[in-house]
Structure 1
Amino acid sequence: MKNYAWFAVIVMGTVSVARAAEPIQPAAANFEQSIFSAAEPADFASQWGVQPVSCEYASSCNGCNNCQSCGTGGCGCGCGYECGSGLSFLKGDHCFDSFIEPTTNPVFFEDPRARTRVRGLFINQMIPEDSILQGGDFQVYAVQLSVALSDRFAVIANKDGYIKLQSDALPNNGGWADLATGVKYVMVRDVENQFLLSGGVLYEWANGSSDVYQGNGDGMWNFFLTTGKELGEDSHFIGTVGWHLPNNPNQESESMFYSLHLDNEVVDDVYVLWEMNGIQYLQSGNRLPGVSVEGGDLINLGAGDVAGNHVLTMAWGAALILTDSLRVSGAWEIPLTSRKDLLDSRTTITMSWIY
């Protein structure tokens, strides 16, 4: 019960941090007068500043704060909305474009926005010499997908790709990673205050190669809650918490995780970022009895003696907005706790195309 209580505190704290900077909006002084105005419908918007439905977010969209020209080609608003219609087909939500997507913990650290994007991913991870693999390194080459079906709902595919493993304890191997797919729903979408709260589920299929410690077990569920908040004009916070629940607890370990992200724009379209990732193991597997080391976000060994273990890492990096649709980021990550498991250090590089 102590582990679950700890997780509840993390969930509440993450949402509270994101909400803390949100200003309180006063009620409109002339609300009753505007509702019961005798103005003709054609004059209503100009008299009271009411925007057409398809332009309801224009006041926060790239400076486009006058949607009275909607229907004449003067109101794209930069949020993916077309005049007289809703979100363009499969086009993601662009009302939060100044947010920077998290770089580290790339499978489970979920961006709270509903976006359509393709992200190339490269990871180089150094393995501690005192681990079960006795040192070495591995690389991951992957492509992540997200498809927005509305400004609140997206289909996601966060794990796939190829893994190359060079271990000092085993022959060098390569193989395919497990595939993880799921859905995400934006529960709170506050454009004016630049605040988001989303939840979702990701299912990891046991289809990968055993040569790189994939494919064991009978699949795993990841239930997550993620939030984001603009802080001032140039900074943003994103936080995610989640629960990894295996279908076969004998083959894979059960855990909960939390990830935090802060970014700040130092010059136009150039951001520095800081991220922290923690994982708390709740229940050990039985696949490797007596082993007290687990694999973190990419590998689940099913180790038999990890319940109660906690690993915390920190990362520093940068992100560049190259064009409206192209972004790159990179980060270097190291453990903060004495327990490292399989992560001595990690470099993560991403390139995203956004629609």
Structure 2
Amino acid sequence: MNAKFSAAVAALALGMPSIAPAQQLMPSEIVGADSAVAPYEYASPPAIADQFVIDDPSCDVGCSEQLSCSDSCCEKAILCGLIKQSDHCFDSFISPMTNPVFFEDPRQLTEVRGIFLNHKVPLAAGGGDIQVYAAQARARITDRLSIIATKDGYAVSQNPVIADGWADVAAGLKYTIYSDAETQRLLSGGLTYEIPAGTPRTRQGNGDGEFHLFLTGGAQVLGYGHVISGSGFRLPADSSEESQMWYWSNHFDYQVLQKWYFLTEYNWYHWMSSGNNDFAPGIEGGDLFNFGSTGVAGNDIVTGAIGAKYKPNRHVEIGVAWELPLTERRDVLENRLTVDAILRY
């Protein structure tokens, strides 16, 4: 009788389960295998059903750190790390909706965002509606830096002084200044330049372009809520053709159901200097236009919005918001409906 057989007989006599040699080897084989799955990594693509569950907002292990292209997270990047996937350490956040050209999400994202606006103009500025169809793109190129394309699109107008046509094009960079995934707080800054490539009869293409300097930050609050605040300056290269403006935009959302968020936003626009154009004296173009009008320095407009977003998973956001001026001064905004859809990598 060999030693292993004797041990098995003794174990049975004492009422203990017998352990086969193959079972004894199994744990060490699994630990040493090359195919062992590290924590928080997928051995295979998630099932279709998994795509409809919002991921835990905690940071993906390793994905928030710098990785070489041989690492599993980096292999998911486009062009072997040239364009990285979005920072998923803040997946419980949603992006702001109003002031869409300038109010930037503080996260580093790789995404495409489609935007539709139905913008109603007050009778004092000619009345009518303007529909804008636009797309934004963002590409995260390092852990802290991304390329952002924030303005383009086509406008269809029923306003007598703003015709159908193409919008100017704006792009630039966004850099993360501070990021703490544990406390869910972050701060970013950036710069964009607007190329005057739009259609003049659409009140685009004027001046020598416009620089936009901004800061934007966010924090998780009240358990399932989030605050995002952004402020910036619109600085035209030719201040006689376009006006200078400072803005402050604020977003608050609360996750009311697993995939649904309620949101409210407020925007304050302050014109610092006027242009020399008498196209619309005393009236400026808000966030969509820059008329360079005379007599607008010192003017202020505050708008408020309510809305909702549907976020089935970390890769998709669909939102709608209704915006109104809260000040007596309205300039070119009677009201606005904003709809957006985001596909995020």
TM-score range, shorter chain: 0.7 to 0.9
Cα separation, partners in 2 of 1:217 and 1:79, compared to 1, 3 Å:
farther
Question: Normalising by the residue count of structure 1, what TM-score does the alignment of the two structures yield?
Answer: 0.76
TM-score (structure 2 length as normaliser): 0.78
Percent identical across equivalent pairs?
42
> Which secondary structure state, in structure 2, belongs to the residue aligned with residue 112 of structure 1?
coil
- Compared CA separation, residues 309 and 352, structure 1 to 2 (3 A): same
State the match for 1:235 in structure 2. Answer: 225
| 2:90 equivalent in structure 1 | 96
SS of equivalent residue, structure 1 residue 214: coil
Three-state SS of the structure 1 residue aligned to 2:201 is helix
Q: 1:146-295 to 2 correspondence within 5 Å? A: 146-167=138-159, 169-170=160-161, 173-288=163-278, 291-295=281-285
Query: Are residue 117 (structure 1) and residue 82 (structure 2) matched?
Result: no
Q: Distance in 2 between matches of 1:229 and 1:291?
A: 40
Q: Output the amino acid matched with 2:260.
A: V
RMSD: 2.0
- Partner residue of 1:75 out of 26, 37, 40: 40
SS in structure 2 at match of 1:322: strand
What CA deviation, in whole Å up to 9, does each residue of 1:294-333 have, x standing for no partner?
A: 0000100110110000000000000011233111011000
Q: Equivalents in 1 of 2:288, 2:282: separation in Å?
A: 17
Query: CA distance change for structure 1 residues 251 and 72 in 2, over 3 Å: closer, same or farther?
Result: same
Distance 1:166 1:184 in 2: 35
Give the CA deviation at 1:102: 0.1
Preserved CA contact (<8 Å) 2:286 2:331: yes
CA distance in 2, matches of 1:298, 1:243: 14
Taking the aligned partners of 2:257 and 2:118, their CA distance within structure 1 comes to 28
Runs of 4+ in 1 over 2 A off after TM superposition: 69-80, 82-89
Q: What SS does the aligned partner of 1:281 have? A: strand
2: CA distance, partners of 1:265 / 1:70: 38
Any conservation in 2 of the 1:79–1:93 contact (CA below 8 Å)? no
Given that residues 280 and 291 in structure 2 are in contact (C-alpha distance below 8 angstroms), is that contact kept between their aligned partners in structure 1? no
Alignment partner, residue 128 of structure 2: 136
Compute the displacement of 1:74 (Å). 3.0
Match of 2:296 in 1: 306
Task: Report how many aligned residue pairs link the two structures.
Answer: 283
**Which structure has the bigger radius of gyration?**
2
Could you tell me how far 1:265 is from its partner in structure 2?
0.5
How far apart in 2 are the matches of 1:80 and 1:326?
Answer: 23
Question: Contact 2:94/2:317 (CA < 8 Å) preserved in 1?
Answer: no
Q: Counterpart in 1 of 2:315?
A: 325
1:351 aligns with 2:338: no
Q: Secondary structure at the match of 1:274?
A: strand
Any idea what the Cα deviations from partners look like across 1:81-113, whole Å, max 9, x if unmatched? 279566543211000011010001000000000
SS of the residue 2:292 aligns to: coil
Alignment of 1:37-56 (within 5 A): none
2:270 counterpart SS class: strand
